[in-house]
Amino acid sequence: MRWWRAPAKINLTLRVLGRRSDGLHLIRSLVAFGEPCDWLGFEPARTLELDIEGPAAAQSGPTENNLVLKAAKALSSETPNLRLGRFRLVKRLPAAAGIGGGSADAAAALRALAYANGLPLGDPRLRSAGLAAGADVPVCLLAKARVVEGVGEQLGPCLLLPPIVALLVNPGVAVSTRSVFKALKPNLASPSEPDLLSAAPVRTDPLTLGSLAEEGNDLEAPAVELAPIVEELLGRLAHLPGARFSRMTGSGATCFAAFEDSEQAERGRRIIVDERPHWWVKATRLH
């Protein structure tokens, strides 16, 4: 069995620009990836199967609804005679946490199937199958820092990030992405209108921790309405020694503090673990 990493996705910035006629929201987000991950094993077989284990397995929901199977079936429908097989998912990342755990798992499944079937990672069928499984899956395929636009299907070129060490903290509260977008204000009640929530100009200056601190995440406010602990967490992270800024990633409830070096982030990790020993807390360099 060959094993594949499914790394956590972190939205360094996230702007909601409007809503399409089909109800899906248009976004622009700078996405990076960290070291915490799930692991997905794969071995070719005659049938498509998935076993789930690990500390976060109980959060994964029904196996038949897992994005690993959804992505595999989507690729199979576009690729005649695709060789499928048995997946074994070791679930470590918290679910419904804004770090794209399920999407990363689906992307790892597509990479595994591409390897087993001799498909290049640039094959458009992989991205199409990924988008069919979920909006975050295409950017997770290569797991490189880049700007994502549209509903997740428009991927910018890979970017060189400044040195960033993020302290990721999840307070153990699951937040529904659908509910967060529903609570978004102003209410985009008319799908035919291109209402803009942010001007969100495209930055052309080099990325720095200072420039990133000036950005934000438009989903923080609705997430706070649904899970007030997010506001408390953001405030606590912002006041950690050496933290340059704090922000929520994705639709929450995971938040992060950005540091310039690992020593500062590790100091912050120890502080949060001492205060909240049951929270999920990880310090990681961003790639």
Catalytic (active-site) positions: 9, 136
User: How many residues comprise the chain?
Assistant: 287
143 by Cβ neighbours in 10 Å (0-12 / 13-18 / 19+) ranks as buried
What is the rounded distance in angstroms from the CA atom of residue 169 to the CA atom of residue 218? 19
d(CA 2, CA 185): 45
Nearest by Cα to 166 from 98, 268, 92: 268
CA distance 13 to 176: 19
Which residue in this structure is represented by tokens 């199958």?
129
Tell me the C-alpha distance between 190 and 106, whole Å. 32
Distance CA 172, CA 166 (A): 18
Residues 260 and 212: their CA atoms lie apart, in Å, by 12
Q: Give me the residues paired with residue 284 across strands.
A: 166
Three-state secondary structure string covering 65-80: HCHHHHHHHHHHHHCC
Rounded Cα distance between 52 and 60, Å, is 8
Virtual CA dihedral for 18, 97, 217, 275, nearest 10 degrees? 160
Q: Please, which residues have CB within 8 angstroms of residue 282's CB and are 6 or more apart in sequence?
A: 8, 34, 35, 36, 167, 168, 269
What's the Cα-to-Cα distance from 246 to each of 138, 209, 231, rounded to whole Å? 26, 11, 11
Two structure tokens written together for 86: 């048995």
